[in-house]
């Protein structure tokens, strides 16, 4: 981002234009969709622990209000600038449209390296940022709902909701002003694993499509597929876990200190514990160390899951990548040239814009929970369990046979909050995958799945604008 000639926002516009050619919308409407509707660039003073006053640079961008509220994370990073926040806000519009989350795109950023500040200073910065947003009507459950992003987490979201609620006394839906909150502060269960689980659901759906698998020379289904995961952080860990539980073989995992390989499969939790105990994933029992961490990206495998950083597959290593499917769990793991080369080689690239949308999908469920003021499952769990017990009792009486204890527990179980959140996420990822594939296969001119995803997003946002009508 230090390169002043590079514009992330222009990059997004280029991908948009590439896809817009495959739609029939009025040029003016397409221009409106691309534009960022509201940009709030702010500076505010905060007194630091040593008595000094520091001027903080921060942003909130609302890309589109075709659906409200706007939705998107808040990033704390040295690299934050207006162009980056605009690009990320527009990507949120398209991501929400693809997974049928009824929000417009938004994004926020504070230009700080959180490691250079004390917890008390971070709290003051976050609370002041929130009150600036309140003053300009840039936050609220019906206006704009932030979430965690790079450098922020549950703690910052708890500060935001507390500041908002204290400035808006009596606002009954105040908890819905931000998502990614701790469960004790109105958060929802199932948020932590949401992105990795969404990656798994999306790829499983792709692997269940016979025509797609045939084109790649792969068998249908996840079972037995060889998977390589880069990054053992939140997204990588959970992706590896759900692929393993789904019957795939996670043959290698890479972290920044190195990579480990075992053809029989690696258990991510055991590796995580090994790393915690030894400080490194290397020398994991049963696995071999790879010479360089980047070597993992070049292994023979069916599915490669980059879940760490952007631009990890680029023109230097792309000739050596052997995966048949690349699951973009991270944001922007492929450079545009690497993307083109792999697409030409018939590698299926499942794009980040929809594949890692599990987080925002579950954020939507959190917001709905906040507006309804009731935990998911509270109303129906006992009813379902009583009904299931009754049905099972009748079946056992009629047949004179008993099911096993483990079957009994499975059949009787009524849905908890986490069950419903996972179920809603599964439905969202399956529908989104099918919609994109249908668009791609209906038009042979569309070159890749990423363009098909953009076409889907553009069609939905444009339809929504068309339905709203353009005011004179």
Q: Is position 314 an interface residue for ligand NAD (rule: CB under 6 A)? A: no
Q: Is position 224 an interface residue for ligand NAD (rule: CB under 6 A)? A: no
Q: Is position 146 an interface residue for ligand NAD (rule: CB under 6 A)? A: no
Select which of 107, 111, 225, 241 is catalytic. Answer: 107
- Near ligand NAD by CB under 6 A, which window of 231-239, 244-252, 281-289, 368-376? 231-239
List of residues 6+ apart from 277 with CB closer than 8 A: none
Query: Which of 293, 342, 292, 290 shows the shortest CA–CA distance to 314?
Result: 342
Closest-approach residue to ligand NAD (CB):
233
* 393 DSSP β-pair partners: none
Tokens of 117: 């500040």
- Choose which of 102, 153, 224, 233 interacts with ligand NAD (CB under 6 A): 233
Query: What are the backbone dihedrals phi and psi of residue 61, each rounded to the nearest 5 degrees, phi first?
Result: -120, 130
Question: Which is it for strands 249-255 and 288-290: parallel, antiparallel or unpaired?
Answer: unpaired
- Choose which of 33, 99, 188, 232 interacts with ligand NAD (CB under 6 A): 232
Sheet arrangement for strand 104-110: 38-47, 53-62, 104-110, 70-76, 144-148
- Per the annotation, the verdict on 322 as an active-site residue is no
Are 289 and 252 in contact, with CB atoms under 8 Å apart?
A: no
Q: Is position 329 an interface residue for ligand NAD (rule: CB under 6 A)? A: yes
Query: Which of 74, 84, 30, 168 shows the shortest CA–CA distance to 466?
Result: 30
- Choose which of 64, 293, 428, 433 interacts with ligand NAD (CB under 6 A): 293
Q: Is position 163 an interface residue for ligand NAD (rule: CB under 6 A)? A: no
- Choose which of 281, 330, 353, 449 interacts with ligand NAD (CB under 6 A): 330
- Choose which of 140, 231, 351, 377 interacts with ligand NAD (CB under 6 A): 231
| b/e per residue 219-248 (b: at least 16 CB within 10 A) | eeebeebbbbbbbbebbbbbbbbbbbebeb
Q: Scanning residues 252 to 271, which ones bind ligand NAD (CB under 6 A)?
A: 254-256
Q: Which residue, 234 or 343, has its beta carbon nearer to ligand NAD?
A: 234
Q: Which residue, 353 or 462, has its beta carbon nearer to ligand NAD?
A: 353
Q: Which residue, 255 or 417, has its beta carbon nearer to ligand NAD?
A: 255
List of residues 6+ apart from 232 with CB closer than 8 A: 240, 253, 255, 268, 271, 272, 275, 281
Active site residues: 107
């Amino acid at each position: 981002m230090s390169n002043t000639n590079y514009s992330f926002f222009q990059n997004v516009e280029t991908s948009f234009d590439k896809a817009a050619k495959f739609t029939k919308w009025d040029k003016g409407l397409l221009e409106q969709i691309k534009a960022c509707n509201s940009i709030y660039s702010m500076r505010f003073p905060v007194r630091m622990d040593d008595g000094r006053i520091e001027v903080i640079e921060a942003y909130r961008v609302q890309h589109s209000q075709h659906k409200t509220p706007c939705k998107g994370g808040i990033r704390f990073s040295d690299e934050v600038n207006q162009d980056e926040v605009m690009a990320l806000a527009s990507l949120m519009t398209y991501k929400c449209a693809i997974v049928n989350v009824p929000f417009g795109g938004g994004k926020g950023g504070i230009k700080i390296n959180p490691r250079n500040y004390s917890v008390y200073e971070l709290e003051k910065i976050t609370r002041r940022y929130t009150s600036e947003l309140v003053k300009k009507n840039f936050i609220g459950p019906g206006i704009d709902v932030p979430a965690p992003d790079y450098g922020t987490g549950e703690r910052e979201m708890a500060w935001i909701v507390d500041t908002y609620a204290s400035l808006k006394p009596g606002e009954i839906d105040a908890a819905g002003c931000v998502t990614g909150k701790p469960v004790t502060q109105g958060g929802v269960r199932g948020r932590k694993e949401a992105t990795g689980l969404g990656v798994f659901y999306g790829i499983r759906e792709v692997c269940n499509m016979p025509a797609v698998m045939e084109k790649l020379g792969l068998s249908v289904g996840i079972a037995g597929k060889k998977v390589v995961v880069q990054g053992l952080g939140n997204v990588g860990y959970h992706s590896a876990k759900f692929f393993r539980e789904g019957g795939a073989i996670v043959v290698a995992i890479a972290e920044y200190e190195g990579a480990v390989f075992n053809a029989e499969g690696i258990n991510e939790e055991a590796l995580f514990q090994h790393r915690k105990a030894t400080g490194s994933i290397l020398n994991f029992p049963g696995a071999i160390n790879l010479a360089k961490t980047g070597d993992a990206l070049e292994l023979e495998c069916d599915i490669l899951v980059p879940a760490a950083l952007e631009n990890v597959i680029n023109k230097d290593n792309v000739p050596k990548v052997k995966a048949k499917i690349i699951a973009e769990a991270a944001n922007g793991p492929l450079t545009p040239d690497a993307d083109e080369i792999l697409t030409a080689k018939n590698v299926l690239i499942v794009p980040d814009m929809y594949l890692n949308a599990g987080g925002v999908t579950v954020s939507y469920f959190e917001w709905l929970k906040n507006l309804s003021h009731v935990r998911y499952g509270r109303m129906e769990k006992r009813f379902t369990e009583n009904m299931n017990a009754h049905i099972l009792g009748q079946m056992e009486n009629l047949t004179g046979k008993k099911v096993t204890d483990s079957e009994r527990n499975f059949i009787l179980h009524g849905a908890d909050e986490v069950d419903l959140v996972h179920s809603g996420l599964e439905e969202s990822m399956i529908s989104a995958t099918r919609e994109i594939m249908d668009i791609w296969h209906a038009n042979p001119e569309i070159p890749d799945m990423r363009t098909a995803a953009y076409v889907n997003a553009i069609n939905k946002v444009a339809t929504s604008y068309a339905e709203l009508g353009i005011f004179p």
